[in-house]
Amino acid sequence: MNTVIYKLNETNIDMDLIKKIGLVLREGGLVAFPTETVYGIGANALNGEAILNIYKAKGRPSDNPLIVHIDDINHLSKYAKEINEDAKKLMNEFWPGPLTLIFKKTKLIPDTISGGLDTVAIRIPSNKIARYIIKEAKVPIAAPSANISGRPSPTAAKHVIEDLYNKVDIIVDGGNTNIGLESTVLDVTDAIPVILRPGGVTKSMIEKVIGKVNIDDSLINKELVPKSPGMKYKHYAPKGSLIVVSGDEEKVVNKINEWVKEKEKEGYSVGVIATTETSKHYKCKNIEIIGDKHNHNQIAANLFNVLRKMDENNIDYIYSQAFSEEDIGMAIMNRLMKAAGNKKITI
Ligand code: TXA
Ligand code: MG
């Protein structure tokens, strides 16, 4: 398959091009496009064959369901049922935006999307390119992150090109994504909603709107099987071995410097993920600065790019300090720990 790359600018959208892209989607093609979270690989959610092509292109296990993206809340009841008051309040507050809700599904949703579950994940993205593409497709769009399964999610078109060139019909280059981590996934089918995947819309933001919210036990106890199928796979992982180190910052830096020296002596290439503040204290050839210590949004936006850079530089061992779990920090640490296969050392 030959991939065509189109550049689009969110502030000055070429509607003729959007119409063309929408048509390719409606007719069963695969299109990768930016959202405010990460790039997605989209297909017509009502076309079973197109859905299977997404799984093939990504090498994704078939039991891992996809998120259906819509552009208008009025279309929701075609695909979701038993929409309760909490869900309505949340949609009112956070849509369009990085919140995915799990509902009971209607018959219109093909089984291939929902991995055999009786539920469906739905969100309205806020990125204008994404919204217009979905609108012009005139069908709901199933879109997982546009990476090969298991690799860090793409936050720039070049990441999508690395993973999916010649596996999709179109890649839309709309620049870097704002948030950089995938949407929060919230199951609203229970009396008390449950966060299955932390993201840009945080627990406290949700609680301000609807009161008590639970967190899927597996997010806290890594031994348990997650309720969201996608969360059970090793994910977001760079090729090198990543180790997260937590504890007093000065001690963490010293310990990482010790390990870097050891591994470099053994002939490995070693990388360190640093904040702007700690970067000057590390002694390592490959230091990637992820952002300012207190700027969690910046850290979130850079995480996947930094992990991919480690791959570009063929790093064997990557060390990262742990980050704050406050607000979007919960999502940052969730992705970082998954990338590390849960290897964390506390000193
Ligand atoms: O920000 C995002 O959500 C991006 C952009 C492209 O919208 N999409 C994304 O999709 O991250 P994906 O497929 O990479 O992750 C979807 C997550 C997976 O963990 C999947 O298991 C979960 O949502 N999921 C989907 N449908 C579900 C369902 N019915 N029940 C429970 N979890 C579900
Ligand atoms: Mg994904």
pLDDT for 24-52, tens place per residue? 999 999 999 999 999 999 999 999 999 99
Q: Assess whether pLDDT exceeds 90 at residue 175.
A: yes
The pLDDT assigned to 345 comes to 95
Q: For residue 55, report the distance from its CA to the centre of ligand 2, in Å.
A: 11
**Number of neighbouring beta carbons within 10 Å of residue 113:** 23
Q: For residue 237, report the distance from its CA to the centre of ligand 1, in Å.
A: 17
Say yes or no: CB of residue 121 within 6 Å of ligand 1. yes
Check if the beta carbon of residue 94 is closer than 8 Å to that of residue 201: yes
Q: Assess whether pLDDT exceeds 80 at residue 205.
A: yes
The pLDDT assigned to 235 comes to 73
Say yes or no: CB of residue 177 within 6 Å of ligand 1. no
Check if the beta carbon of residue 2 is closer than 8 Å to that of residue 168: no
Q: Give the number of the ligand closest to the Cα of residue 187.
A: 1
The pLDDT assigned to 227 comes to 80
pLDDT for 280-326, tens place per residue? 999 999 999 999 999 999 999 999 999 999 999 999 999 999 999 99
Q: What's the whole-number average pLDDT of the chain?
A: 96
Cis peptide before 96 (omega within 30 of 0): yes
Q: Give the number of the ligand closest to the Cα of residue 183.
A: 1
Of the pLDDT bands very low, low, confident and very high (cuts 50, 70, 90), residue 189 is very high
Residue 287 has which token pair?
Answer: 């230091």
Q: How far apart are CA 303 and CA 156, in angstroms?
A: 12
Q: Assess whether pLDDT exceeds 90 at residue 146.
A: yes
* Closest atom of ligand 1 relative to the 69 alpha carbon: 7
Of the candidates 179, 192, 181, 183, the residue with the CA atom closest to the CA atom of residue 87: 192
Residue 141 has which token pair?
Answer: 């769009």
∠ CA 155-321-342, rounded to 5°: 75
The pLDDT assigned to 153 comes to 96
Q: Assess whether pLDDT exceeds 80 at residue 107.
A: yes
pTM: 0.97
The pick from 36, 81, 100 for probing ligand 1's pocket by mutation, whose C-beta has the most ligand atoms within 8 angstroms, reads: 100
Say yes or no: CB of residue 318 within 6 Å of ligand 1. no
Of the pLDDT bands very low, low, confident and very high (cuts 50, 70, 90), residue 233 is low
The pLDDT assigned to 234 comes to 65
Of the pLDDT bands very low, low, confident and very high (cuts 50, 70, 90), residue 11 is very high
Q: Give the number of the ligand closest to the Cα of residue 41.
A: 1
Averaged over 115-144, what is the pLDDT?
97
Q: For residue 253, report the distance from its CA to the centre of ligand 1, in Å.
A: 35
Q: For residue 266, report the distance from its CA to the centre of ligand 2, in Å.
A: 35
Averaged over 102-109, what is the pLDDT?
97
Q: For residue 247, report the distance from its CA to the centre of ligand 1, in Å.
A: 32
Q: Assess whether pLDDT exceeds 70 at residue 277.
A: yes
